[in-house]
Structure 1
Amino acid sequence: MSINEHLTEFAGLPVVEFLSPEIEGERLLNAQYRARRAGQPIPDRLEPDERYAAALAAPDTAAWRLRVVVDAEEPFGQHLARFLAEVDTAKVTALIVGCWGESYEDTAQEPRDLLIAQADRFPALRSLFLGEFVMEEAEISWIRQTDVTPLLAAFPRLEEFVVRGGSGLEFPAIRHGALRRLTVQTGGLPRGPVAGITASELPALEHLELWFGVEDYGGTTTVDDLAPLLAGERFPALRSLGLRNSPWGDDLVRALAGAPVLERVRVLDLSGNVLTDAGGEVLATAPAFRTLDRLVIRYHFLTEAMEERLRAALPGVDLHLSERQEPEVYKDRTYYYPEVTE
């Protein structure tokens, strides 16, 4: 998932944005900009959106995005109320909650509580994304989150939950019998939510993805905090694990090398970590990584020679290596930064 652009697909469905006058104004400006760049006639209005009309007619064929434009006349609560009035939400299976206001003023508590109050209007909801701000709306570290577990309690049939933003994020230990996919994207992940997640009872969980970030943006999680997860006693259905964008990637792979959790995980995503040749050597030599079906390492600090060593050492693994980085050197000091830090 990219944090620079709005999703075009979620939960296997095309994303359709619930419109407001401000969003339609944005769309017109974007269409005018594209026409100007292409040397085409500049439109003064938008043509009817057939895809939008089709989604209104069959709400289960789209993942719906709700968001407001900052300083718009329509606040998030009013936007949601119109959505409930204009869309047959009993058929909505996937919902994205994007920008709900000024990131430095407004927290996720209001949209969370509004959704909980209307939970009975979404009986078919199976996938939910809370906090899909893109970079032009807010840096990932500016998004002010809240305790998100009441949402899971309000939607006991939810199968996929994505939350973006670590500031103020809380995730006390819970039990949820249906959740299959959990993704937490942050520029700095506090250890509290990690402790809650790893202590939760999620018997159906197949995919877990955590973005750790850095201490400057609230990232207090360490490799030691992952011990309950790596021990492999939690999440019996877990098959896909993403441990991403940490500054301690080499220590992470050392911990994973002897971790019982890899006995059941088939897909491992280590993208965005500060992973150097020291960690690469562990990946190349530890037997635990040879049993994976797929290993993804996008954005890393491995040398080209280490990339080749990994390909030779893991012939039976579907290995995805991309976006090699170079460390920054300043005044004879070398600095390594994970992918998402702001």
Structure 2
Amino acid sequence: MPNRSHLTEFAGLPVVEFTGWDALRDDFGLAMYWARNRREPHTEHPKNYERLFEAIADPGSAAWRLRMETPSYGTGSNGPIDTLGQYLGRFAEIVAPAEVTALIVGYMGGDYEAMPPDEVRDRLLDIAPKLTALRSLFFGEIRQQENEISWIEHGDLSPLLAAFPDLAEFTVRGGSAGLGLALGEHRALRSLTVQSGALRPEVVRDVCASPLPGLERLELWPGSKEYGGESTPEDLAPVLSGEAFPRLRHLGLRNAEELDDWIPALAGAPVLSSLDTLDLSLGTLTDEGARALLGAPAFRGLKRLDLHHHYMSEETAARVRAEFAGAGVEVDVSDPREPDVDEYGGETHVHRYSAVSE
């Protein structure tokens, strides 16, 4: 699933992680302690840093991941520990910032009491004037092992878009509670993705109200109502009407636990006639939602329909595959799921979960 592993490619470029002093010390420290204690060299450490050196020599050849981990040992006695500001400052000093076109901001270690969510944003804003070639930004690429998606907190991220007026692609993961995306006019942005375990209605409405005249791809993850993901088709109405983003060609409503409820609204949405692709993957589509898809001719004007990770029966999935393929629509009905069924209180309870949830 999207938050189970790190990206290996972003914006069409291979990902290279900028290694901080703490991680370097840990790599070499582990190798040395292994050799001392086991009387043999470690077979895997230190890591091969050849690709890092190649990317430093040609910064535009890679998508750079910024990521800090809390050191595993040696705090204080083995040398200074990087602060966030020091780490980002060193990145801007060593990697020619004016040549960086793609940037991923990942896990930054510690807890949020020691590192408030806004601090990561603010320290990135400190070096923003040097990142003059930046076109693609992923803010919050944090794996499930590092932090659950609904626990990833962000504040107001609109200053990031303002700081990078030439940004074409922006992705954010997390921010169930405090995320702010009331964006000012941004004429360069072509792709906006908000990955969430619970997307609040006000965030959806703010995105819809943002003046993004060039937007071609919009992907939102409604998530779970249990964690506050109570957005509805009414919140997305300006997009569904086709008025918010006239150049939109790709719409994603992914990771939705109430996906069946969205299908009727999509079926009658004017925006559907201008879309090339509709991505409803990672959600909880059932036979009921599938019947609504099959009964609406408007969906057959798409070039591609992504439904992978669903709860359709085998027979219904086969019918969806056959009928849409027959209409010339590329359709993905892979990764069928089975609901969890519990018996308690004398009643049967059926549970269906989106792909990225707790």
TM-score of the superposed pair, with normalisation by structure 2: 0.88
Q: 2:97 aligns with which of 89, 96, 101?
A: 89
CA contact (8 A) 1:28 1:46 kept: yes
1:155 aligns with 2:164: yes
Compared with structure 1, are the counterparts of its residues 228 and 90 closer, same or farther at alpha carbon in structure 2 (3 Å cutoff)?
Answer: same
2:20 is equivalent to residue 20 of structure 1 = yes
- Residues 16, 52 of structure 1: 8 Å contact kept: yes
Q: Does residue 1:140 correspond to 2:152, yes or no? A: no
Match in the other structure for 1:50: 50
Q: Tell whether the 8 Å contact from 2:69 to 2:110 is kept in structure 1 after alignment.
A: no
CA–CA distance in structure 2, aligned partners of residues 94 and 44 of structure 1: 29
Checking the alignment, whether the CA contact within 8 Å between 1:104 and 1:143 is kept in structure 2 is: no
- Residue 242 of structure 2 aligns to which amino acid in structure 1? G
Query: How far 1:242 sits from its partner (Å)?
Result: 0.7
Correspondent of 1:215 among 214, 222, 225: 225
Q: Of residues 240, 246, 271 in structure 1, which corresponds to 2:256?
A: 246
Aligned to 1:37: none
User: Is there any run of 5+ residues in structure 1 with no aligned partner, and where?
Assistant: 32-40
1:118-129 matches, within 5 Å, as 118-129=127-138
Q: Note closer, same or farther for the CA distance 1:289–1:30 as it changes in structure 2 (3 Å cut).
A: farther
Distance 1:279 1:28, change over 3 A: farther
**Which residue of 106, 109, 112 maps to 1:101?**
109
Distance 1:161 1:241 in 2: 15
Aligned-residue Cα RMSD (Å) equals: 2.2
1:319 Cα shift? 0.6
Give 3-state SS (helix, strand or coil) of 1:242's partner: strand
1:75 maps to 83
Query: Are the equivalent residues in 1 in contact too, given 2:321–2:332 (CA < 8 A)?
Result: no
* Aligned 8 A contact 2:18 2:64 in 1: yes
The corresponding residue for 2:37 is none
Shift of 1:13: 0.4
> Where does the alignment leave 5 or more consecutive residues of structure 2 unmatched?
32-40, 76-80
Distance 1:45-1:327 versus aligned 2 partners, 3 A rule: closer
Q: Deviation string for 1:99-135 (max 9, x for gaps)?
A: 1233543343112112222221001000011111111
Partner of 1:176: 186
Which letter maps to 1:339? A
Report if the CA contact (8 A) 1:68-1:75 is conserved: no
Could you say if the C-alpha distance between residues 339 and 28 of structure 1 is closer, same or farther in structure 2, counting changes exceeding 3 Å? farther
CA distance in 2, matches of 1:28, 1:255: 56
Q: 2:161 is aligned with what amino acid? A: L
Per the alignment, in what secondary structure is the counterpart of residue 131 of structure 1?
A: strand
Q: In the aligned structure 1, how far is the partner of 2:277 from the partner of 2:19? A: 37
Residues 76 and 101, structure 1, Cα contact 8 Å, conserved in 2: no
The 3 A distance-change label for structure 1 pair 27 and 186 is: farther
1:25 to 1:238, Cα distance in 2 relative to 1, 3 A? farther
Aligned to 2:61: 61
Please tell me the residue identity of whatever aligns with 2:67. Answer: R
State the 1:21 CA deviation: 3.4
CA contact (8 A) 2:153 2:175 kept: yes
Structure whose alpha-carbon radius of gyration is higher: 2
| Matched AA of 2:244 | R
TM-score between both structures, scaled by the size of structure 1:
0.92
Q: Which stretch of the first structure deviates more once superposed, 222-231 or 233-242?
A: 222-231
Residue 338 of structure 1 corresponds to: 354
Secondary structure at the aligned position of 1:324 is classed as: coil
Distance 2:202 2:337 in 1: 30
User: What SS is found at the alignment partner of 2:350?
Assistant: strand
- Does 2:332 match 1:320? yes
Deviation at 1:43, TM superposition (A): 2.2
Alpha-carbon separation, structure 2, partners of 1:328 and 1:44: 41
| 2-structure distance, mates of 1:146, 1:334 | 35
Q: Is the contact made by 2:3 and 2:356 (CA closer than 8 Å) also made in structure 1?
A: no
Provide the C-alpha distance between the structure 2 equivalents of 1:30 and 1:134, rounded to a whole number of angstroms: 24
Paired with 1:268 and 1:103, the residues of 2 have a C-alpha distance of: 37
Distance 1:216 1:148 in 2: 24
SS at match of 1:82: helix
Partner of 1:200: 210
Q: CA deviation at 1:173?
A: 4.3
Distance 2:27 2:237 in 1: 47
- Say how many residue pairs are matched: 335
